[in-house]
Amino acid sequence: MPSQTPLDCPLPFADYPNILLAHGGGGRLTRHLIEELFLPAFRNPPLDQLHDGAELAVGESRLAFTTDSYVVRPLFFPGGDIGTLAVNGTVNDLAMCGARPKWLSAAFIVEEGLPLATLERVVQSMRQAATVAGVQLVTGDTKVVDKGKADGLFLNTAGIGVIERPLAVNPAQVRPGDGILLNGDLGRHGMAVMAARESLGFDPPIQSDCAPLAAPVLALLDAGIEVHCLRDLTRGGLASALNEIASTGRVRIAVDECAIPVNDEVRGACEILGLDPLYVANEGRFVAFVAPGDLTHALQILHSQPLGREACLIGAVTDAAEPLVTMKSRIGVERVLDLLSGEQLPRIC
Amino acid sequence: MPSQTPLDCPLPFADYPNILLAHGGGGRLTRHLIEELFLPAFRNPPLDQLHDGAELAVGESRLAFTTDSYVVRPLFFPGGDIGTLAVNGTVNDLAMCGARPKWLSAAFIVEEGLPLATLERVVQSMRQAATVAGVQLVTGDTKVVDKGKADGLFLNTAGIGVIERPLAVNPAQVRPGDGILLNGDLGRHGMAVMAARESLGFDPPIQSDCAPLAAPVLALLDAGIEVHCLRDLTRGGLASALNEIASTGRVRIAVDECAIPVNDEVRGACEILGLDPLYVANEGRFVAFVAPGDLTHALQILHSQPLGREACLIGAVTDAAEPLVTMKSRIGVERVLDLLSGEQLPRIC
């Protein structure tokens, strides 16, 4: 829980000489690694935007380019597997740049001894997911490492999308007054993976929400909705995504707990495991920061989309000020929604 | 040695129900995995070319897109490390498409417990290599897996390059009469990594040839040389690259052992370890298939380039016929240069 591990001071590398699981958790230590190591080393305008992907100019065209590795354990879980995840995760990062996803690469790191039938099943999932998302897998790579030197299968996909409209969708564009729309209930993916990993026999099993989000996003953009920022709610969940945007865009954000949908099965599972659904990863959920005048229209559009039927307004950008995310709780108390310092759920994507 | 493990029949999956190290070795089993699993699943025109990268059309522009994961062990070796390798390897795959390398992604899979100083050293190597190669690292990802579930650090880079000239450079373009140019001596990278891994105290240590190859390639293309195909000689070395091109382009290739430079240290190390330098990986070597009328001019151009000073003509495409690669040995005997069935040197890239 965030409040149990507050850490508001910078974390010099000297305090953490070795990599911790939390460095990959999407919380404070991940941010630290990015800001203290990667950004200073590679500094350039596309990278500096700290968005889900880089925006590139090629001739008259604008492209989005993104990459993600997938290390989920177990490889198969209710509602998906590492293959569907690897396609949808990268498709979604492109969609969050306002791009139409077009082409993916696929790179496999396989542990010696993995059954070929397992690899085949993953490849078939990727094929299906690519067909549904309307993308092509155009280039790839396979490496095999000795037994005991990997965990079955790691997958990387990079993706290229085309930004078809003259828009700027990134954290620097958010501004006071923007409403924050969420396309559905939270926490399914993380809890589905966790339950499969720990063999928790929820009945019926919680299904991952893993899905390609380009259709609802492009529906908003095609309708001319003034979208300022988009972010899918993967590692670290809603709370981490809002914190990242508040921090990069230098704004305050306020959300209302009552407005944030979490279904009963997920809420129950979270309570049993001592987890907060606001920090649990999703793979088919996103927030859209939308200009106030366009909110009603945007909700109408989302409601007409299969992946936006339960879309709702969960909060707003309140000020251009020191970055902060607050939440009004069910009992009306306002509290700070912080970045996690530790790692709540390792290896869910 | 290839002649010790001939396997000319197809290998149904049933014969190999589990992944072997050789599935990642760039030889016969890698090819089998590609042809029997990946191609049928993902079938599309860019992938079907079986080139080092995919060619994509965006507006009026032509792009090359490629990906590679790097699992080299140890992480650091004379002449480079996993970081230099990850930048140059992907830059070189783009160059082999005739593209000017522009943008890379970088995705890290880190084992819990890796010293941050090690990661920092790799990142600094990547920065330096990117500067030398003239590319930007524009987007990235970091995942951390539990201790014992990876081998320190795995890296993936995907890359985008721009194809600036109206040319077709891929295996389908090779034709009888094409000369085969090689830009330098073989086997340094594989032997440098092997020596570092096994703590073989060669004195002086063999240095990897790891280097970005876009400059000599673009020099050829800018001069209007009729280049039909390019291939860097990584996993599986020269012999595997020639076999892949012969197979995809459906041609016969003949090379002359006397013309293929291997320096004395590499030759000696290979003899001690029972390896054939023609199958050892390089990371700064490529072959260019060039129309016969342009060979002299192409060699002049390569000789003026730092990475082409020792360029030489090593053979030619002899026929459009059943794919085959033959080599005239030092004692004048012609023998078949086959794809490896096993794995000669695992995890050298």
List, for residues A107-130, the tens digit of each pLDDT value.
999 999 999 999 999 999 999 999
- What's the CA gap between A250 and B27, in Å, rounded? 52
B75: tokens are 């992480």
Q: Across all residues in chain A, what is the average pLDDT?
A: 92
Of the residues B163, B193, B211, the one at which a domain ends: B163
Taking the C-alpha atoms of residue A29 and residue B119, their distance in angstroms, rounded to an integer, is 14
The confidence band for A335, taking pLDDT boundaries of 50, 70 and 90, is: very high
Nearest by CB to residue A124, choosing from B41, B160, B347, is B41
Q: Is B136 within 8 Å of A69 when comparing Cβ atoms?
A: no
**For residue range B45-100, what is the model confidence (pLDDT) as tens digits?**
999 887 889 999 999 999 999 999 999 999 999 999 999 999 999 999 999 999 99
Q: Considering the domain boundaries, does residue A192 fall inside one?
A: yes
* Residue B27 within a domain: no
Residues B289 and B140 in one domain: no
Task: Quote the minimal CA–CA distance from B295 to chain A in Å.
Answer: 31
Residues A229 and A120 in one domain: no
| Within-domain flag for A235 | yes
- Does B111 have pLDDT greater than 70? yes
Q: What is the dihedral of CA B260, B262, B263, B268, to 10 degrees?
A: -140
Q: Which residue has the higher pLDDT, B348 or A298?
A: A298
Q: Is position A109 within any domain?
A: yes
Question: What pLDDT was estimated at residue B13?
Answer: 56
Look at residue B238 and give its three-state secondary structure.
Answer: helix
Cα–Cα dist B135/B102, whole Å: 5
Q: Does A255 touch chain B (CB under 8 A)?
A: no
Q: Which stretches does DSSP call E strand in chain A?
A: 54-58, 61-70, 76-77, 80-81, 100-111, 136-145, 153-163, 179-182, 227-232, 252-256, 286-290, 312-319, 324-328, 334-336
Cα–Cα distances in Å, from B258 out to A282, A324, B75, B314, B329?
60, 70, 34, 8, 7
Are residues A151 and A206 both part of a single domain? Answer: no
Give the model confidence (pLDDT) of A272-327 as tens digits. 889 999 999 999 999 999 999 999 999 999 999 999 999 999 999 999 889 999 99
- The CATH number of the domain holding residue B61 is 3.30.1330.10
Q: Final residue of a domain: which of B114, B138, B163?
A: B163
Nearest to B145 among A65, A142, A151 (CB): A151
A180 & A295 share domain: yes
- pLDDT score, position B8: 39
A345 within domain boundaries: no
Taking a contact as any Cβ pair under 8 Å apart, which residues of chain A between 43 and 102 contact chain B? Answer: 44, 46-47, 53-54, 56, 58-61, 63, 65-71, 102
Q: Which of B163, B195, B224 is the last residue of a domain?
A: B163
The confidence score (pLDDT) of residue B3 equals 34
Asked if B202 and B303 sit in the same domain, the reply is yes
Spatial CA neighbour of A145 closest among B193, B69, B87: B69
pLDDT of residue B51: 81
Nearest to B137 by CA among B151, B145, B146, B127: B127
Q: In this structure, are A208 and A316 located in the same domain? A: yes
Does residue A6 sit within a domain? no
The span from the CA of A4 to the CA of A12, in Å, is: 21
Say if residue A113 is in the same domain as residue A196. no
Each residue's pLDDT tens digit, A178-197: 999 999 999 999 999 999 99
Question: CA-CA distance, B235 to B237, in Å (whole number)?
Answer: 5
Query: Is A256 in the same domain as A116?
Result: no
The range of the structural domain enclosing residue B123 comes to 50-163
Asked if B189 and B330 sit in the same domain, the reply is: yes
* Distance separating alpha carbons of residues B241 and B102, to the nearest angstrom: 25
pLDDT confidence of residue A12: 52
CB contact under 8 A, B142 and A42: no
CB B313, CB B180: distance < 8 Å: yes
Same domain, yes or no: B281 and B224: yes
Are B36 and B23 contacting, i.e. CB atoms less than 8 angstroms apart?
A: no
pLDDT tens per residue, range B191-201: 999 999 988 87
> How much is the pLDDT for B14?
60
**Which member of A59, A105, A144 has the closest CB to residue B19?**
A144
- Strand-pair partners of A104: A137, A159
Give the model's pLDDT for residue A128.
Answer: 98
Pairing outcome for strands A252-256 and A100-111: unpaired
| Rounded distance between C-alpha atoms, residue B202 and residue B179, angstroms | 35
- Rounded to two decimals, what is the model's pTM? 0.94
* Cβ proximity of B112 and B145 under 8 Å: yes
- Verify that A197 and A150 share a domain, yes or no: no
Q: pLDDT of B176-191, one tens digit each?
A: 999 999 999 999 999 9
Which has the closest alpha carbon to B255: B169, B340, B318, B341?
B318
pLDDT at position A9:
39
Could you tell me the CATH number of the domain that includes residue B207? Answer: 3.90.650.10
B324: left (phi over 0), alpha (psi -120 to 50) or beta: beta
**B36 lies in some domain:** no
Residue B346 lies in a domain: no
SS3 category, A118? helix
- Quote the number of domains for chain B: 2
- A3 CA to chain B: closest CA distance, Å? 23
Structure tokens belonging to residue A19: 């990599």
Domain identity same for B148 and B226: no
| Whether residue B308 has pLDDT greater than 90 | yes
The DSSP 8-state label assigned to residue A14 in this structure reads: G
Contact B267, B185 (CB under 8 A): no
What is the C-alpha to C-alpha distance for residues B54 and B60, in angstroms, rounded to an integer? Answer: 17
Q: Count how many residues are written for chain B.
A: 349
B215-247 tens-digit pLDDT: 999 999 999 999 999 999 999 999 999 999 999
pLDDT given at position B6:
31
Cβ contact, residue pair A67, B136, below 8 Å: no
